[in-house]
A and B are shown apart, each in its own frame.
Chain A
Amino acid sequence: MNSQRDMRILAVDDEVIFHDILHTIFTVQGYQRTVRCQSASEALNLLRDPAQHFDCILLDIQMPGMNGIELCSHIRAMPGFAATPILMLTSMSERDYIDQAFAAGASDYITKPINEVELNARLRAAFNSIQETKRIEALTWQVETTSVENVDIRFSDVITLPESKDLMAYLAMQNFMLTLGNLRSQSWTAVGLHIIGAAQFFAAARPRDFLEMVQDVAISIQDSLKTHKYLLSYAGNGEFVALIDRTTPVDPDGLQERLTDLLAPFAEFHVAAAGLPVGVCVGQPCRNSILSFASPIAPIERALRSARQKAIETEPGCTSEVAI
């Protein structure tokens, strides 16, 4: 697959005219490998068929029977579809459903009425995501099967953690906040979590051990946030971002203490792998103010900076500033 136009795309929408529109746009734009269906059950049958393969899936949100959000959850639970780009087709009236869709595993969204420029841009992003997934899959295969000394992994990689369920792709999290816009994104508070010693761990340990350490931290964060409504992503560089519903505020110091306790049982393995235990610094919760013109993803970036700064203050010389 050399370009986005080579993707095999499944479009699921119950409106025949919408399919005709989509087919026309796809044809004019040079997308030749598209398949349409009109219901969730039809889509699931196609996706379960081993003779079929789809690189990207477009789902209408409002459909009779199983809706697009439920269908998205079903697809994500199917083997082989954990990283397939799923783009939701939404009208303005369905903006309320968008956060549900992202929580169900959607990668991005396309707004109806459909615009050929926007459609192309979203599909390009989906294609780029597929390429990145392939690179990571190849990397994981290398980690599992070859001499780990030569594996091409970078500290900054936004690694997918296959064993950490309910972890959102970092790009999807950014898309989610952009979709919500300035006003609605204020209902989420971003909290950055920086793994103290991650860079040193990366430099000293085998890539597989680094991945396992990051996974240990992910599980601990999920455990410590289980009473909150949240979304969690790994952002690369030994850093996580949690978006936490503002109705269930989080105390960063309390969260950090809890994480210290939860990571304690892993310390022995981490010391054996890299010669040092890891800790987690939790930064200050960040949210745009109501009058802010800053980008909806600005709180994510500020949250990561806050956690990083706190790590520097806590353990000077023990952060990702180390050149890898």
Chain B
Amino acid sequence: MMTAVGTQEEPRLDARWASSWFQTCHRTIKKNRLVLDELDANQGDGDHGDNLCAGFEDTEKRLHELSGLSVEFGFYDVFSTVGMSLYANCGGISGPLYGSVFLAWAELFQPGTHESLDAPVVCELFYLATKNLKVRGRVSLGENTMLDAWWAAYQGALQVCIESGQGYAALQGGVHAVTELIEKTRPALNAGVYSTSLILQSALVAVTK
């Protein structure tokens, strides 16, 4: 797997960060639960916030247990824990959808390895998300679904990679692109697009800890 040593100022995106990212998600989603429900009510059954909240509550618990173990853990452990947890505990379609994305991420890493994410790997994670959502969600680009958000993140991260940026910068580029997408589509903001942006923002919040 690709590894890159970040510059001094550049925060390392390691497995501890990934674990902290998805624990942060629970708090972020909980804060926005009603907003997500309201957005979902325009297009679905209005329970996207509730579903994600239940899912990430379990995720946080499981990751907390994982971090407490004396053994080292890697990206494989974190992403497969997140995927399985959302799969089983997050209701509606979003549970299996997000679950399958994070399980696909886990497959990118060998169990027990402790590399940190460089820019191409960040791009690849976003790409895997779009690939998975197209097949699993049976949607195409431009249908105002969470696929559009992951696609924007992918393109944003690629742009950073073209400009020789590191992993953290690629992540920022991805988040920034999703924020722009949200500003553009705001009147018809899709709940899945918004939850994707909350999940990705949590990744940045977790870095500073």
Are A and B a genuine interacting pair, yes or no? no
